Structure 1
Amino acid sequence: MIKSSFHNYLGALLFAVTLHSCTGDSQKKLPIIGERATEERIVDGQTVVDTVYHQIPPFTFLNQDSVLISDKDFDNKVYIANFFFTHCPSICPTMQRNMLKVYEKYRGNHDVAFLSHSIDFKYDSPSVLKSYAKKLGVDDERWQFVTGTKKDIYGIAEKYLVYTKEDSAAPGGYDHQGYLVLIDQNKRIRGAYDGTNDEQVAQLMEDLGILLKEQ
C-alpha cells in the first residue's frame, strides 16, 4: 500500500471518529475500522451470517527489558499503539509526550496498555529503548517499547494501517505517520488519532473512556 492510500484511509477514519463524537452520550459507540468480510455457519439447522472484522494478527517482539512479548500480553486489554524511533528529530517527541499524557491519566488502570514499536531496527536495541522509556517517565510494564526485524515491524505497521518507511531523505532516515491507534479487547482498531495534534489527543482520551465502558 502506498503512502497516499494510508493518508486517504486515515483521513476518512478521522472524519468518522469526529462525526461519532457529535452524537448523544447514550448513542456513542466507536466505529470498528478496517476491511471486513462475512462468513456463514450453521446454527440449529439455520444459516447464520457473521461479520468478520479486521484484527491485529499475532506478533512477537523484544521489549526494552530484552524480554519477548506477544499479542497474548494484551489479551483482555484496551491498548494504544504507535510507531516511532528514539532519535527522531521531527514528530516523535511531540507524539510520545502526548502518549505520555494518556498513560499518566490512566495510571493504575491495568485494563489500559501502551505499545510503541521502534521502526529503527538498526539502532534501537532494548538497552536504548530502556533508556528512552526512563527519560520519558515510563516506570511500569503498562507501556512496552519493542523492536524487531524490519520485516516484522513494518509488516505489523500495515496491520495497524500506519505508514512506515526507511528513507534516507527523511529526517532521521525514516518516514512514518504519528498516529496513536486505539485497539479494543478483541484486537480490532477502534480509532486513530494524530499524536501531534492536541485536539485529536483529547478526542483519544474521550474515546478511550467510551471504549472502556463499552467493554
Structure 2
Amino acid sequence: MRPFSKLGLALSLLLLFSTACQQQAELPILSPKDDRGSFLPVPDFSFVNQDSMPVSRATFAGKAYVADFFFTSCPTICPVMAQQMLRIQRHFSGDSRLLLLSHTIDPGRDTVPRLKTYAENLGAIPGKWHFVTGDKDSLYDMADDYYNLVVEDQNLPDGFDHSGRFTLVGPKGYIRSYCNGTSPEEVGQFIKDIETLLHEMEDATAQH
C-alpha cells in the first residue's frame, strides 16, 4: 500500500475543515423549566390580527417566529423597532418557515382597523407579519412569557414602559434567542441566530 501523500493529506484536512465550517451550531433553549427539569414551551394564546383573523400557537405550528410588543402611537422606541422588524422581514421574505408576531400593549386604542392601517403603511407582508390585539391582561401575561418588560405608567409621556426586546421562538414553542430590537448591531446577530435555527429545522426535517 502506498504511503499517504502530503497532497492527499492536505486535501483531506481541507475537506474536513470545510465540512466542519458548514455545520451549524444549535442555538440554546432559553425557555424556563418545570419542576422536573423539562423546558416549557410558550403558553397557548388567542388573539386577533389586523385582518380580523384568529392567531394562536396553531398559527405557528412547524414554524419559527419573532415576537415583539409595541403600540401604534408610540413616539419613542417603537418606530426604531418597526424598522428593525422590517429588516428581518426583508431578509427572510422568501422563507415561509419564519413569521413575525407583534402584540399591541395598548388594546384600548389599537383596534383591528387601526392595526390594519399601521401594518399597511409599514409595508408588512400579509400572512407573514401578524399585528395582534386582544384582552389586555392576556397580552401583558404573554409579554412576561417572552421575557419582555411591559408596564403601564401614566407618569410617562406615552403612558407605557416596555423593553423593546425581540424574541425568537422555535417550531416546538421554545425560546431560542432574543435581542434588543432598537440596536441594529444586536439585530444583525439576531438575524444570524434565525438563520442558525432555520438550518437546524432543515436538518431535523432531513433526518425524518
Name the TM tier (shorter chain): 0.7 to 0.9
Does residue 31 of the first structure (1) align with residue 31 of the second (2)? Answer: no
- Deviation of residue 27 (structure 1)? 6.3
Partners of 1:144 and 1:117 in 2: how far apart? Answer: 8
Matches within 5 A, 1:91-170: 91-170=77-156
**How do 1:1-215 and structure 2 match up within 5 A?**
26=23, 28-37=25-34, 39=36, 51-215=37-201
1:116: how far off? 0.1
- Report the Cα distance in structure 1 between the residues aligned to 2:84 and 2:157, rounded to whole angstroms: 20
Query: In 1, Cα distance between the equivalents of 2:22 and 2:139?
Result: 37
Show CA shifts across 1:147-192 (max 9, x none): 0111110011111111101111223111111011000000100111
Q: How many correspondences in the alignment? A: 181
Shift of residue 123, structure 1, vs aligned partner: 0.3
Q: Which amino acid aligns with 2:32?
A: E
Q: Which runs of 5+ in 1 are unaligned?
A: 1-23, 40-50
Superposition deviation, residue 38 in structure 1: 6.0
- Output the amino acid matched with 2:40: H
The CA deviation at 1:202 is: 0.2
* Structure 1: distance between partners of 2:183 and 2:126: 26
C-alpha distance in 2 between matches for 1:182 and 1:171: 30
| Partner amino acid, structure 2, of 1:116 | S
Task: Choose 85-94 or 28-37, whichever is displaced more.
Answer: 28-37
Unaligned regions of 5+ residues in structure 2, if any? 1-20, 202-208
> Secondary structure at the residue paired with 2:75?
coil
Give the CA deviation at 1:25: 6.4
Choose between structure 1 and 2: higher strand proportion. 1
> Is residue 90–residue 171 contact of structure 1 (8 Å, CA) maintained in 2?
no
AA aligned to 1:207 is D
Letter of the 1:79 counterpart: Y
1:80 partner SS: strand
AA of the residue aligned to 2:33? R
Residues of 2 paired with 1:30 and 1:191: CA distance?
7
| 8 A Cα contact 2:104 2:131, kept in partner | yes
Q: Distance in 2 between matches of 1:132 and 1:27?
A: 37
Query: Normalised by the size of structure 2, how large is the TM-score?
Result: 0.83
User: Distance between the aligned counterparts of 1:99 and 1:130, measured in 2?
Assistant: 16
Is 1:163–1:176's contact at 8 Å kept on the other side of the alignment?
Answer: yes
Superposition deviation, residue 54 in structure 1 = 2.5
The residue identity in structure 1 corresponding to 2:79 is P
